[in-house]
Amino acid sequence: MIVAIDGPSASGKGTLARGLAKALGFAYLDSGSLYRAVAAKLLAAGFDPNDAAVAEQVARAISPDDLERPDLRSEAVAQAASRVAALPPVRAALLAFQRDFAKRPPGATGGAVLDGRDIGTVVCPEAEVKLFVTASAEERARRRSKELIEKGESGIYARVLKEMRERDDRDTARSHAPLVAAADAVEIDTTDKDANAVLAIALAVVAEKRKSFRRD
């Protein structure tokens, strides 16, 4: 089984994906970490994240070890990753990596959980379960500010909210693989829900899908 989870930044999709993968015993891939890894390597080398040719070269050379970089969660990398993710050559370069993970999850598990922004629409349109996780921009900015402060970084709410909205605009307006819910995705609004409540909803969706398999 493939579970595709999409949604904007700080919506809670990563927390849900990790929890769901653990509960189901599935392999997990944070596709956003792929774009963050490309962005981190570009920034570290002094390259412009908007340079499609260089970004594509970096993307094609990404390895699993790059996903463990300690700087992937920094705000600078997050902003650069949003720009990198808007480049069609980069998305094409990383597409095979994601699809291979979904079809042949490591560890011979019974399935895979992938989260990102175009998993259910582009990467794995055949996924048996598709979830679209969202929350208000204000709540997402609050969560992100708290996360930054806990890491010792600047977490000024007004700035984070402005950057959050700018990133949402880039993600939804890009011509290639924009952030949008798949037509058959189940939407979960996490604005007023904790992680356990969101996980319970997702597990119920998976259970219902498995029932439909047995009926078929």
**pLDDT tens column, 25-64:** 999 999 989 999 999 999 999 999 999 999 999 999 998 8
User: Residues 176-196: what's their mean pLDDT?
Assistant: 94
What per-residue confidence (pLDDT) applies to 19?
97
pTM of the model: 0.85
Ranges of beta strands (E only) in 49-189 are 112-116, 129-134, 186-189
> Beta 186-189 vs 27-30: how paired, if at all?
unpaired
| Beta pairing partners, 164 | none
